[in-house]
Amino acid sequence: MGLMPKIPVAEWISSATEWITDTFEFLFDFIKNDFGDFIEMFAEDWLMNIPVWLFIVIVGLIAFFVSGKRFGLMAFSVVGLWFIANQELWEELMNTFTLVIFASLICVIIGVPFGIWMAKSKVVEKILTPILDFMQTMPAFVYLIPAVAFFSIGMVPGVFASVIFATPPTVRFTNLGIRQVSHELIEASDSFGTTGTQKLFKVQLPMAKTTIMAGINQTVMLALSMVVIASMIGAKGLGQTVITGLQRAEVGTGFVAGLGIVILAIIIDRFTQNLNTQRGE
Amino acid sequence: MPIIQVKDLSKIFGKQAKKATQYLDQGLSKDEILEKTGNTVGVNRASFDVEEGEIFVIMGLSGSGKSTLVRLINRLIEPTEGSVYIDGKDLAKMDKKNLRDVRREKLSMVFQRFALFPHRTVLENAEFGLEVQGVDKEERAQKAKDSLELVGLGGYINQFPGQLSGGMQQRVGLARALANDPEVLLMDEAFSALDPLIRKEMQDELLELQESMKKTIIFITHDLDEALRIGDRIALMKDGRIVQIGSPEEILVNPANDYVEKFVEDVDRSKVLTAEHIMKRPETVDVDKHGPRTALERMRKEGLSTIYVTDAKRNLHGYVTADDVSEAAKQEVKDVKEILRTDIPKVDKDTSMHEIFDVIHDSTVPVAVVEDGKLQGIIVRGAVIAALAGSEVNLNGSDA
C-alpha cells in the first residue's frame, strides 16, 4: 500500500465546498435569509394561525372528496390529526408539514423538466442515470454537511438536503412515463403534424401522468423520511422531538413523535395516490 | 397529374445504408444484403403514381414492407433514397416546418391498432388534427362533430375510447383523419384488427363514404380479398419490392409472376369477376330482316337451343327457342315476332358472379348482358364454371 500516497480526495471536496460557499455566498445568504423567512412565515404565521379544529375539518373534507366520497380516509385523517393535537405536537406537525411541502415542491419543479429532458435525449439519460443513482445511494446524512456549510442551520438546509435526497424518483418516473407512451400514439401525433411542444403537452405528459404522479408520491415519501435526519441540523418539527427523545432516552416521547410522522405519511400518501386517477380509464 | 408520385423510394434499416443501396443497385436480394451488411431492406425502389380520387391498395404479407412504405409516404420513417411528390413537391427533401404543414393539411393517417388517445374523449380525439393546426375551439368542435356524424358516432362524442368496441374505435380513428379534410388518406391495415363481420361492414362503409367524398386513399392490407374488394388499383409487394400494379381484374387474370399467381390462387373469384369478364359474343337474328328459317339455320349451325333476337342497333327484343322456330318454319310463319319470348334473364356488365349464379340457376336460356337496352353479350353456364376454375376469362369481353 505504500506505493502510492493517499489521494487527498476528502481535502479536495472540502476545499471545493469552501470555494463554493465563498463564491456563492451572496446567493446562499439570499436563500438562507429571504427563503428561510418565507418558510418560517408560512409555518408560523399562516399554518399555525389556523385553528386546530378548522384545520382538521378542512383536511377531513378534502379527504372525503379526494377519496371519491368515501369515509375511510376522512375518518383516519380526522382521528390521526386530533391525536397529534392531543399529544401537544401540533406546532411540530406544522413545521414538519412545511418542510415536506417545500422540499417536495422544489423536487417537482426541478425533477419534472429534467425527466422530460432525459426522455428526449439518450445522451442526457446516460449522463443523468449514474448521477441519480449517486444521489439516492449516498447516505442522506452526508448531505447535511454541505447543507450546513451553505446555509448554516435551520429549515433551509433541511429543505436543501431533502431536495437532493428526494428528487431522483420524480426525474426517473417522468423519464419512464414519457418513454413508455406507445410508439403508435407518438406516430399518430406526428402524423397530424404536431410540433415537439404540442406532442409533449397534448400526448406525452397526459399519457405519462400516472407514472409521473407515482414518482411524485415517492418523492414526497422520501422527503418525509428526511425529516428526522434534517432535524439534526436544526430543522424544526416532529423529527426534533424524536431526537430529543433519543438524547434523553425517553422512549415514550420519541415513540409518540414517530407515530405523528407515520400518521402524516399515511395521510399525504393516500392524498397523492387518490389524486392520481387518470381520465378515460 | 397524379396527386402522389413515388419515385425509386427505398428504405434500408441499419448503419450501412449506403453500402446496402449499392448492393440493391447490383440487384442483390434482401437476404443477401442482410447477410453481407446486417441491414434490412424495408422498401426496395418502389415507384408508383396515385391518381386523385382513387383507392390505391398496397398489399403484401407481413414483412413485405408495406407498412414501411406507407410511413415513408408521410415520412414517419425517413427514406434512405428516392422521392415522394405530393402535388409536385418532394416530401423527402422538405424541411421540418413544411413537412408539418403537409401532414396537417394534406395527409391524414388511420392506424391498425387505432392509436386513439385514451385520455381524450371521442370528440377531443376527432378534434386533434384541427387543434394542432390552431383552429379555434368552436370551429374545430363543429368540424369534428360533422366528421363523427359521418361515420355514425354522433351520439358518442363524450365517451372515452376505452368505452367503445373495436369497430367503433376505428370509426373514431377514421373521423379523426377526416376532420382535417385531408387530400390523401393513408390507411395502414385499418381494418385488420377488427373481426371479420365488422371488417366487412367497415369496408362497405368506406366504399359508401368514398362515393360522396372522392378522397384519394392509400390503403394498406395483407388481405387479398379486402384489396380486391375496395381497391381501384392494387400494388402487390414482396420483400420490399412492388411486384405488380394493376386493377383487381388484371392482378387476378394476368398475374405478373409465380408469386402473384400463387397469391391469387385461393381468391374467391366470384367476388371479383363480373358479367363483363365471362360473357361471350352472342349469335343473334335480326327481328326486321330474318324469319324463322334463318333463325333455324343459324341455330343448327351453332348447335344452339335458343337464340336472341335484336334489331340492327342491337336493341334486345327477346329470344326464340328451337322448338318454336321449327314449328313456325313448318307453318310458313314469316315473322319471328310471332314466336318471340320476352322473359329474358338479364344482368348488367357490372353484375358480380355471385349474383349471376342466382339468375343463371333459375333460367333455361343463356343470361343476357344488357346495357341501355342493347345486348352486349351472353353468359352460358359453362363460362361461369370455367371462370371460377380460373381459366378462359377475358378482360375485354366483347372481343371474345
Q: Which of A195, A280, A281 sits opposite B100 (nearest CB)?
A: A195
Residues of B in contact with A193 (CB under 8 A): 99-105, 129, 132-133
C-alpha dihedral sign at B202, B207, B208, B213: positive
pLDDT(B23) > 80: yes
Interface confidence: ipTM more than 0.85: no
CB B240 within 8 A of CB B82: no
Q: Is B74 on the interface with A (CB under 8 A)?
A: yes
The CA-atom distances, in angstroms, between B63 and each of A2, A28, A138, B69 are 64, 61, 49, 11
A197 touches chain B (CB under 8 A): no
Distance CA B291, CA A55 (A): 111
d(CA A73, CA A67): 7
When computed from its CA atoms, the radius of gyration of chain B, rounded to whole angstroms, is: 27
Quick one: pLDDT at residue A174? 96
Count Cα neighbours of B241 within 13 Å in the Cβ-side half-sphere: 11
CA distance A212 to A207: 10
Cross-chain residue pair B131–A202, CB shorter than 8 Å: yes
> What's the CA gap between B169 and A184, in Å, rounded?
15
The verdict on a CB contact (< 8 Å) between A188 and B115 is: yes
- How many CB pairs below 8 A link A and B? 70
Q: What is the CATH number of domain B275-399?
A: 3.10.580.10
Q: Does B77 touch chain A (CB under 8 A)?
A: no
User: What are the residue boundaries of the structural domains of chain A, listed by start?
Assistant: 9-49+87-275
Instruction: Return the closest-CA partner of residue B329 out of B365, B291, B272.
Output: B291
Say whether pLDDT at A89 is over 90: yes
Is residue A78 a contact partner of residue A84, using CB atoms and an 8 Å limit? no
Q: Reply yes or no on whether the pLDDT at B346 is more than 90.
A: no
Which chain B residues in 255-314 lie under 8 Å from chain A, judged by CB atoms? Answer: none
CB distance A103 to A230 below 8 Å: no
**B156 to chain A, closest Cα gap in Å:** 14
Tell me, yes or no, if B180 comes closer than 8 A to chain A by beta carbon: yes
Number of residues written out for chain A: 281
Is pLDDT of A145 > 80? yes
Q: How many Å lie between the alpha carbon of A202 and the closest alpha carbon of chain B?
A: 9
Compute the distance between CA of residue B377 and CA of residue B279 in angstroms, rounded to an integer: 5
List, for residues A20-42, the tens digit of each pLDDT value.
999 998 888 888 888 888 998 89
pLDDT tens-digit profile of B31-55? 888 888 888 889 999 999 999 999 9
Contact B129, B180 (CB under 8 A): yes
Which pLDDT score, from 0 to 100, does residue B390 have?
63
Taking CA–CA distances from B176, the nearest residue in chain A reads A192
Chain A CA closest to residue B129: A192
C-alpha cell recorded at residue A202:
397534448
Length of chain B (residues): 400
Q: What is the dihedral angle through the alpha carbons of A242, A248, A249, A253, rounded to the nearest 10 degrees?
A: -40
Pairing assessment for the beta strands B184-188 and B107-110 based on DSSP bridges: parallel
Q: Which three cell numbers stand for residue B141?
A: 368542435
Alpha carbon of B366: minimum distance to chain A alpha carbons (Å): 54
Lowest mean pLDDT among A236-240, B170-174, B371-375: B371-375
| Per-residue confidence (pLDDT) for residue A223, from 0 to 100 | 93
CA-to-CA distance for B271 and A245, rounded, in angstroms?
87
pLDDT computed for residue B289 by the predictor: 83
Query: In terms of CA atoms, which chain B residue is nearest residue A197?
Result: B132
Kindly report the backbone phi and psi dihedral angles of residue B45, in degrees, each rounded to the nearest multiple of 5, phi listed first.
Answer: 40, 65
d(CA B63, CA B59): 11
CA nearest neighbour of A189 among B328, B132, B255, B174: B132
Q: Which of A187, A192, A194 to mutate to test the interface with B (most CBs of B within 10 A)?
A: A192
B211: pLDDT strictly greater than 80: yes
Q: Measured between CA atoms, how close is B100 to chain A, in angstroms?
A: 4
Q: Looking at residues A147-152, what average pLDDT do you find?
A: 89
Paired residues of B193 in beta bridges: none
For residue A1, the model assigns a pLDDT of 55
Q: For the segment A167-225, what is each residue's pLDDT rounded down to a tens digit? A: 999 999 999 999 999 999 999 999 999 999 999 999 999 999 999 999 999 999 999 99
How many Cα atoms occupy the beta-carbon half-sphere of B74 within 13 Å? Answer: 30
The C-alpha cell that represents B322 in the structure block = 328451337
Question: Cβ neighbours of residue B165 under 8 Å, at least 6 residues apart?
Answer: B198
Give whole-number Cα distances, A109 to A102, A103, A106, A161, in Å: 11, 10, 5, 16
d(CA A76, CA A79): 5
Q: Other CB atoms closer than 10 Å to residue B110's CB: what's the count?
A: 27
More confident residue, B141 or B25: B141
Mean pLDDT of B276-281: 81
Quickly name the fold that domain B4-106+182-267 has. Rossmann fold (3.40.50)
Q: What percent of chain A has pLDDT over 90?
A: 69
Q: What pLDDT does B391 receive?
A: 56
Distance of CA B16 to the CA centre of its chain: 38
Residue B280 has which C-alpha cell?
A: 361471350
What is the 3-state secondary structure of chain B? CCCEEEEEEEEEECCCHHHHHHHHHCCCCHHHHHHHHCCEEEEEEEEEEECCCCEEEEEECCCCCHHHHHHHHCCCCCCCEEEEEECCEEHHHCCHHHHHHHHHHCEEEECCCCCCCCCCCHHHHHHHHHHHHCCCHHHHHHHHHHHHHHCCCHHHCCCCHHHCCHHHHHHHHHHHHHHCCCCEEEEECCCCCCCHHHHHHHHHHHHHHHHHHCCEEEEEECCHHHHHHHCCEEEEEECCEEEEEECHHHHHHCCCCHHHHHHHCCCCHHHHCEHHHHCECCCEEECCCCCHHHHHHHHHHHCCCEEEEECCCCEEEEEEEHHHHHHHHHCCCCCHHHHCECCCCEECCCCEHHHHHHHHHCCCCCEEEEECCEEEEEECHHHHHHHHHCCCCCCCHHHC
**Residues forming CATH 3.10.580.10 domain(s) in chain B:** 275-399
By three-state DSSP, how is residue A134 classified? helix
Residue, of B170 and B298, whose pLDDT is higher: B170
Q: Report pLDDT for A280.
A: 52
B224 contacts B269 by C-beta, under 8 angstroms: no
% of chain B surpassing 90 pLDDT: 40
Nearest to A111 by CA among A164, A159, A54: A164
| A67 DSSP assignment | T
Instruction: Say if the Cβ atoms of B103 and A195 lie within 8 Å.
Output: no
Using an 8 Å CB-CB cutoff, list chain A residues near B133. Answer: 193
Q: How many degrees, rounded to 5, is the angle at CA A151 between CA A149 and CA A157?
A: 100
Q: pLDDT tens, B216-236? A: 999 999 988 889 889 999 999
Nearest CB partner across the interface for B162, out of A190, A191, A281: A281
pLDDT (mean) for A78-101: 93
- CA distance, residue B243 to nearest chain A CA (Å): 28
Distances (CA, A) of B321 to B223, B290, B295, B307, B327: 46, 15, 9, 7, 10
For residue A277, the chain B residue with the least C-alpha distance is: B119
> Is B120 in contact with A207 (Cβ distance < 8 A)?
no
> Cα(first)–Cα(last) distance of chain A, in Å?
63
Phi, psi of B56, deg, nearest 5: -105, 115
- Which among A160, A176, A194, A161 is positioned nearest to A114, based on CA atoms? A176
Provide the H-helix boundaries in chain A. Answer: 9-23, 25-30, 36-40, 52-66, 72-86, 90-120, 122-137, 140-151, 155-179, 183-191, 196-199, 205-230, 238-248, 251-275
Per the prediction, chain B carries an average pLDDT of: 87
CB contact under 8 A, B104 and A278: no
| pLDDT for residue B274 is more than 50 | yes
Fold of the A9-49+87-275 domain: MetI-like fold (1.10.3720)
Asked if A207's CB is within 8 angstroms of B118's CB, the reply is yes
Q: B123: distance to nearest CA of chain A, Å?
A: 13
As annotated, the residues of chain B forming the CATH 3.40.50.300 domain(s) are 4-106+182-267
Which pLDDT tens digit goes with each residue over A255-277? 999 999 999 999 999 988 888 76
B399, pLDDT greater than 80: no
* Mean local confidence (pLDDT), B136-162: 92
Of A191, A207, A281, nearest to B103 by CB-CB distance is: A191
Identify the pLDDT of residue B397: 39
Q: What is the pLDDT of residue B350?
A: 82
Phi, psi of B392 (to 5 degrees): 55, 40
pLDDT of residue B396: 42
Comparing CA positions, the residue from A91, A109, A81, A125 lying closest to residue A262 is A81
Which of B113, B129, B162 lies at the smallest CB-CB distance from A184? B113
Q: Are A60 and A77 in contact (CB under 8 A)?
A: yes
How many angstroms separate the CA atoms of A82 and B85, rounded? Answer: 72
Residue B327 neighbours by CB under 8 Å, 6+ apart = B339
